[in-house]
Chains A and B, each alone.
Chain A
Amino acid sequence: MMTALFTYTCIGLSMIAVLLCFMRMALGPTTLDRILAFDGIVIAMVAMLVLFSTYWHTDMFIELIVIIASLGFLTTVAFYFFLSRQPPAAALGEDETERGGGSRD
């Protein structure tokens, strides 16, 4: 059984991690940075679920952890297969109309 102070400290630290990932998602220069920040947010959410599961001393959240981790991986793979079929300016996060817009094939 974990003490309340230790659990609250750990949850606060994982919230700091989520805020840093949100900062990278807001000012990431490319689209890949934003996808990576989303991956980090999903992992920090899984960490919060693990902390709550240890605090309440229950094992009901394991299926939820499996589902959330799989969803994070599936979003990353879906973005990869979407962006690998786009021109490279889509992965760089640049607007195509600013570059002359002549290469839309």
Chain B
Amino acid sequence: MSLLSVSRLTKGFGGLTAVSNLTFDVPSGSIVGLIGPNGAGKTTVFNLITGIYRPDQGEILFDGSSIVGLLTHRIVARGIARTFQTIRLFQSLSALENVLAGHHCQMKTGLIGSLLHTGRQRREERKGIATSLKYLEYVGLEGRAAQLARNLSYGSQRLLEVARALATAPKLLILDEPAGGMNEQETTRLVDLIRSIRDRGITILLIEHDMSLVMRVCEKIVVMEYGLKIAEGGPDEIKSNPKVVEAYLGTEHDW
């Protein structure tokens, strides 16, 4: 059964068609990779799924119902969380507060409760903080709760983004180049983390340029070029697909 199903998705910016007639499925409980050369339209696809852009045409079904036209925060509440290609943390807030941002939609206190710190507010706040700390620990940032996001190393900032996304309790986690800027060791740890997230029952869709990572973790790969899907299949099928090889020709990829 597919958790996310994108069909005939099209989006243009002026004269440029960034995504053209794209159709693919993300099966529930799988790790799917979206790859392609720079400018192929991968991030646009993510922005369409998360509601930052509105598609010109096409349908996006999540968990059985359409999410086209919903505001981003509503889509998050439905169960799609994401990280960004360029890190977008709340830089001058602490790591804990960044994770609490993701946990926001799991909390309920309104203005009055917030002004008066009612008993319910305090219970919810304590529970929210405890949960957020667990997520920090889960991604390997234990003991860093009080540090400001901007003082964390690049790799740690990427992990913090993952923790913030997980705190929204998603069904689908969308990772936009999670290994960008990471060294070999950090990437290996990330692979373990991605697998472990999937083992918790969260489906994963990721964009990544590090081909060794994609081939190691993804069960299914969708290849895009110039906004079009040129191939789809398991890692071995993709490696031997002539179209894919051609698309990547001239760039050095050691897969």
A interacts with B: no
Report A's interface with B, CB cutoff 8 A.
Answer: none
